Amino acid sequence: IAPGWAKLNEMDLWSGPARLLLNPGRVVEVAVLSALGSFLAQIIEKNQKKRGLDLAGPLRFFIYGFFFTGPLSHYFYLYLERWFPSDVPVSIAKRLLLDRLVVAPAFLVLYYFVMNLLEGKDTSAFVKRMKSSYWTSLKMNWKVWTPVQFINLNYVPMQVRGLAFRLAAAFWINCSFQVTFKGSPT
């Protein structure tokens, strides 16, 4: 058995969903950081454009972080260690390629879809948003997040990778608030 696999067996991945539901602290942290990023971005935009605060935006980010980003990233990082143990050569490249070429595009589609639902918009608005900003957002995601994820996936302890990612994302949401549409996590 590879050392990485033994390490994962010690973590007991199968009881993870129950443990996450019984102790949702990590997911709540992700949700709060997501909402905080949206709130801070609104404050910056308000100062620039003299607009009022929209509390629905941070609430949407909280919901997205709690139900989607938190749980999905938690298990993604666990399984990533299983598939590409850190002590195996070329794991660094494999982890980064999987994250950047498969997970990032899928998460961006999920983000657009969920936010579209939470904003009460119809399918045509989702399609329009995808056509108008998906490719631009994905390219920006690759430019900015590739070095962040390289560090996160290879040097941050596995237990806090999701949290480290969300901390960086709170700043990213803050910086990219006006890139494609209000609050895009590109």
Residue 136 · residue 184 · CB < 8 Å: no
pLDDT given at position 2: 44
Question: For residue 62, what are the contacts with CB-CB under 8 A and spacing of at least 6?
Answer: 31, 32, 34, 35
pLDDT given at position 78: 82
pLDDT given at position 183: 43
Cα–Cα dist 111/116, whole Å: 8
Cα–Cα dist 145/150, whole Å: 8
Tokens of 116: 């579209």
Mean pLDDT, 10 residues at a time, the chain of 186 residues: 46 46 57 66 63 76 82 82 85 91 94 92 94 92 89 82 73 52 44
User: What SS3 state is found at 157?
Assistant: coil
Please measure the distance between the N-terminal and C-terminal CA atoms of the chain and give it in whole angstroms: 39
Q: Choose among 74, 89, 86: nearest CA to 159.
A: 74
Residue 75 · residue 14 · CB < 8 Å: no
pLDDT given at position 4: 47
Cα–Cα dist 86/15, whole Å: 22
Q: Write down the domain spans for the chain.
A: 3-176
Q: Choose among 76, 77, 86, 93: nearest CA to 2.
A: 86
Cα–Cα dist 106/144, whole Å: 17
Tokens of 5: 């696999």
pLDDT given at position 14: 43
Cα–Cα dist 186/165, whole Å: 13
Main-chain phi, psi angles of 153, to 5 degrees: -75, -20
On whether the pTM is more than 0.95, the answer is: no
Cα–Cα dist 72/52, whole Å: 32
